[in-house]
Chain A
Amino acid sequence: QKEVEQNSGPLSVPEGAIASLNCTYSDRGSQSFFWYRQYSGKSPELIMSIYSNGDKEDGRFTAQLNKASQYVSLLIRDSQPSDSATYLCAVKRAGGSYIPTFGRGTSLIVHP
């Protein structure tokens, strides 16, 4: 059973703090990892992709991947109220069936 696990939250952080979102996956064949943000009533939008172990930074966002431990995380620095949303983790295998598997998402609330 290929699964992607996320804590549903809500994760509540004060404005300006670092929000840390975590995701674990069960399929060791996973090669591509993605973080999506979904505002209430809207469709998901891609914010980060990561393919190799280590950190990848893009503005206030840092994705971290550890394939040995099968987890991927997303750090949001200087959190803003506009970051309040549900964050979805997705993983894909390389080749073959390339259907992304999504986690249930973590609800993030950034309070002023």
Chain B
Amino acid sequence: GAVVSQHPSRVICKSGTSVKIECRSLDFQATTMFWYRQFPKQSLMLMATSNEGSKATYEQGVEKDKFLINHASLTLSTLTVTSAHPEDSSFYICSASLVNTEAFFGQGTRLTVV
């Protein structure tokens, strides 16, 4: 299957700082990238969908000014958690896909805000 690389895999940051998470599709050009958040023992929660060169589409209840998504190229999308707070601590996962194909997931980023 296709390879999606997500970095970093784990990050600890201080409350009030910003954290950037990168998601790269290594062997294909992704039409669309998705960002999910998952709390312990909970299901995947879609945060936003991003298409290269256009603004991300955020799901209801997700603050676009807090979770900045940039999809600069067909192989790279970034999620920046701005002014992070402890309640933002979660497992963030990106996925990438072409139209009408399966989505491939990155390894996930465990964010801990202290």
* Interface residues of A, Cβ cutoff 8 Å to B: 31-32, 34, 36, 41-46, 49, 88, 90, 92, 94-95, 98-100, 102-105
Most buried by A among B32, B101, B103: B103
Q: Which residues of B contact A36 (CB under 8 A)?
A: 105
A34 close to B102 (CB less than 8 A): yes
Let me know if B100 and A103 touch, CB within 8 A.
no
Could you tell me the distance between the alpha carbons of A98 and B102 in the complex, rounded to whole angstroms? Answer: 10
Rounded to whole Å, the gap between the CB of B94 and the closest CB of chain A is 9
Contact between B49 and A45, CB atoms less than 8 A apart: no
B49 and A46 form a contact (CB under 8 A): no
With A42-B108, A43-B107, A43-B108 as contacts: A95 and B43 at CB distance below 8 Å: no
Cα A94 to Cα B1 in complex, Å, equals: 21
The count of chain B contact residues (Cβ–Cβ below 8 Å) is 22
What mask results when residues 13 to 46 of chain B are scored 1 for a CB within 8 Å of chain A, else 0? 0000000000000000000101000000001101
What are 7 contact pairs spanning A and B, CB under 8 A? A36-B105, A42-B108, A46-B102, A88-B43, A95-B100, A98-B100, A99-B46
Are B105 and A99 in contact, CB atoms less than 8 angstroms apart? no
Min distance, Cβ A45 to any Cβ of chain B, angstroms: 7
**In the assembled complex, which residues on chain A have CB atoms less than 8 Å from the CB atom of B91?**
41
Within B48-101, the residues touching A (CB, 8 Å) are: 49, 91, 93, 97, 99-101
B99–A88 touching, CB < 8 Å: no
Name B residues whose Cβ lies closer than 8 Å to a Cβ of A.
1, 6, 32, 34, 43-44, 46, 49, 91, 93, 97, 99-108, 110
Say whether, besides A43-B105, A46-B102, A99-B34, A88 and B49 are in contact (CB < 8 Å).
no
B105: which A residues are within 8 A, CB to CB? 36, 43-46
Shortest CB-to-CB span from A90 to chain B, Å, is 8
Given that A46-B1, A94-B100 are known contacts, is A99 also in contact with B49, CB under 8 Å in the complex?
yes
Most buried by B among A42, A43, A46, A95: A43
A105 CA to B100 CA, complexed, in Å = 22
